[in-house]
A and B are shown apart, each in its own frame.
Chain A
């Protein structure tokens, strides 16, 4: 049987991906350029018995998502940079309380209100560091409508598996671009649900990591009663200031991501095998980068592209290998130099690392990238 296909916006594909992943709760607040995610989910979620609520502000939206997730509902919110700025408080809460949830950031420019209808990629450092305190982050950066669908599903899987917030960032260009989408059949893409506790309610500790880095999470309203707090806590979920317990829990919450990078990472490489210059690009910028690689190859330049799909945790290992292989890495991104800092850090001077950025609301075009490549070679 032929697959169901549709011409969908990236934002719409995101909403459809969420439904495919089994999302049952959306809490949001209107913000350009992400509103279609909310609009489609307001239609689709009640059809599958899910819940949609438009909250009074971005913080409340994030709060409702965490509350809903604790009852066992797969939960999602969608916003843009200014909204993520507000949600940072409770992104940190979801990190320390280890509550699975998905946050969509359809990126526009900034800082502040910036250019609401223009694209940007300037929230990528925010996705890693945007909340106070030490924590790990997972952020995915799809570059097409189909990939927005699959990466939204993967975001839910990672959130549920690693018991933490996962962000999906795509710029306004991909969010509002329309492309042909093939809907995967049920079961075609892996869908992961959080691990339920196997111990008795009396023995349940919500942060007991003796059997693994990621403790099983019980649903509120099931047989299990437990306490959740944003304070540093012991394995039983209750606040503690005991140094050894605080230290162990903080480290575990970072290690659970950093020890599992092989499972979380995802990237695409295009003609990198013999590349002397690697264009390091993500999201819509990678589409210009791919075009630039093709044109440069025609001109005899051994160019290739590395495209992270998992942006955080940072693809350090492969980026470092490419830095040893290539003469230069050109980091192209719609900001004034963010991921380039990470690339420079792991390249350790083994090759030239340069940045090609743009923040005027126009996409980075292939010619711009080609000029930079020629300049650096």
Chain B
């Protein structure tokens, strides 16, 4: 029997804005399955995003949805979670939104270890504005603003999240749909800041410029470059050249969660 996504989608909001071949829809379906698995009460769930193609995701889902300003999702979400810690808070957005204009909010949300799940769709590009390079566009690649090849080094988002203090960091790709919801489930169940980086594809503004002849080629690339953490343990540095790790990359269950810490502040202030 086909999975019932319909009950999670707001009536009349489809079709979505994403191009044919874009991976964001795969991620959205993974998120829906994960929310179903965790039995999240949608009334008590805030889905918060910034600006960009990926940030349009919340609008399609039946929940408390907050489409904010460019880069600001984590900061808005922090306000929601602090004010109402009993709410489930999920952020979603793209690489440019989350790590360029929103980079400061991203690292500080990680540092605080506030209980939310951030699904970051990394498609290496600013898609909505027509394909300008992002902090995740590979060096040397072509974008509408790197006509001679991208001179910038990249951010490794998962490493950035671990370094900044997030306590659950996982990565997968749009070519691994079953792993997407499994990792989001773990992220939701984790008490603290969970970052789920999904390496995604943008055939329209990134693939076209960078010699990917089809969406299939892009998906093949994702499958070829993704190496599960366990498999990587048996591989040499040479073999891992040009690959990225997938699966649960980091987990820390000891670091205190931020709203729990603040609950202690309230107790102290009230003389308990």
- A53 to B64: give the CA distance in the assembly, Å: 22
Q: Is A51 an interface residue (CB 8 A)?
A: yes
With known contacts A53-B82, A239-B59, A60–B105 Cβ distance under 8 A? yes
Query: Contact between A228 and B269 (Cβ–Cβ < 8 Å)?
Result: no
Contact bitstring B64-88, A, C-beta under 8 A = 1, else 0? 1111110010011111101110110
- A93 to B70: give the CA distance in the assembly, Å: 11
Query: Contact between B67 and A229 (Cβ–Cβ < 8 Å)?
Result: yes
Query: Contact between A60 and B72 (Cβ–Cβ < 8 Å)?
Result: yes
Find chain B residues with CB under 8 A from A25 CB: 79, 82-83
Query: Contact between B69 and A93 (Cβ–Cβ < 8 Å)?
Result: yes
Q: Is A251 an interface residue (CB 8 A)?
A: no
Contact bitstring A41-63, B, C-beta under 8 A = 1, else 0? 00100110101010111011001
- A231 to B269: give the CA distance in the assembly, Å: 40
Query: Contact between B68 and A60 (Cβ–Cβ < 8 Å)?
Result: no
How many A-B residue pairs have C-beta atoms within 8 angstroms? Tell me: 133
Find chain A residues with CB under 8 A from B58 CB: 227
- A57 to B104: give the CA distance in the assembly, Å: 8
Find chain B residues with CB under 8 A from A226 CB: 64-65
With known contacts A221-B87, A227-B58, A67–B77 Cβ distance under 8 A? yes
- Measured CB to CB, the closest approach of chain A to B113, in angstroms, equals 14
| Residue from B42, B43, B108 whose CB has the most chain A CB atoms within 10 Å | B43
Contact for A229 among B59, B64, B83, B104, CB less than 8 A: B59
Query: Contact between A221 and B104 (Cβ–Cβ < 8 Å)?
Result: no
Contact for A47 among B46, B65, B75, B270, CB less than 8 A: B270
- Measured CB to CB, the closest approach of chain B to A76, in angstroms, equals 12
| Residue from B43, B59, B67 whose CB has the most chain A CB atoms within 10 Å | B67
**CB-contacts of A1-50 with B (<8 A):** 24-25, 27, 43, 46-47, 49
With known contacts A59-B75, A238-B59, A46–B48 Cβ distance under 8 A? no
Query: Contact between A49 and B266 (Cβ–Cβ < 8 Å)?
Result: yes
Q: Is A214 an interface residue (CB 8 A)?
A: no
Query: Contact between A68 and B72 (Cβ–Cβ < 8 Å)?
Result: no
Query: Contact between B72 and A90 (Cβ–Cβ < 8 Å)?
Result: yes
Query: Contact between A89 and B69 (Cβ–Cβ < 8 Å)?
Result: yes
Query: Contact between A67 and B64 (Cβ–Cβ < 8 Å)?
Result: no
Find chain A residues with CB under 8 A from B139 CB: none
Contact for A63 among B10, B43, B65, B105, CB less than 8 A: B105
With known contacts A24-B83, A46-B265, A221-B44, A67–B105 Cβ distance under 8 A? no
Q: Is A197 an interface residue (CB 8 A)?
A: no
Interface residues on A, range: 35 or more
- A333 to B175: give the CA distance in the assembly, Å: 63
- Measured CB to CB, the closest approach of chain A to B32, in angstroms, equals 15
**CB-contacts of A205-230 with B (<8 A):** 220-230
Find chain B residues with CB under 8 A from A224 CB: 43
Query: Contact between A63 and B68 (Cβ–Cβ < 8 Å)?
Result: yes
Find chain B residues with CB under 8 A from A24 CB: 83
Find chain B residues with CB under 8 A from A55 CB: 75, 78, 108
Contact for A67 among B13, B79, B86, B269, CB less than 8 A: B79
Contact bitstring A255-281, B, C-beta under 8 A = 1, else 0? 000000000000000000000000000
Query: Contact between A56 and B79 (Cβ–Cβ < 8 Å)?
Result: no
Contact bitstring A73-111, B, C-beta under 8 A = 1, else 0? 101000000000000011001000000000000000000
- Measured CB to CB, the closest approach of chain B to A161, in angstroms, equals 20
Find chain A residues with CB under 8 A from B59 CB: 227, 229, 238-239
- Residues on A facing B (Cβ under 8 Å): 24-25, 27, 43, 46-47, 49, 51, 53, 55-57, 59-60, 63-73, 75, 89-90, 93, 220-231, 238-239
15 example contacts (A-B, Cβ-Cβ < 8 A) are as follows A47-B270, A56-B75, A60-B104, A63-B76, A65-B79, A68-B79, A69-B83, A73-B84, A75-B83, A93-B69, A220-B46, A221-B84, A221-B86, A224-B43, A239-B59
Besides A67-B66, A220-B80, 7 other A-B contacts (C-beta < 8 A) = A46-B262, A46-B265, A56-B107, A60-B72, A63-B69, A65-B79, A220-B87
- Residues on B facing A (Cβ under 8 Å): 10, 13, 42-44, 46, 48, 58-59, 62-69, 72, 75-80, 82-84, 86-87, 104-105, 107-108, 262, 265-266, 268-270
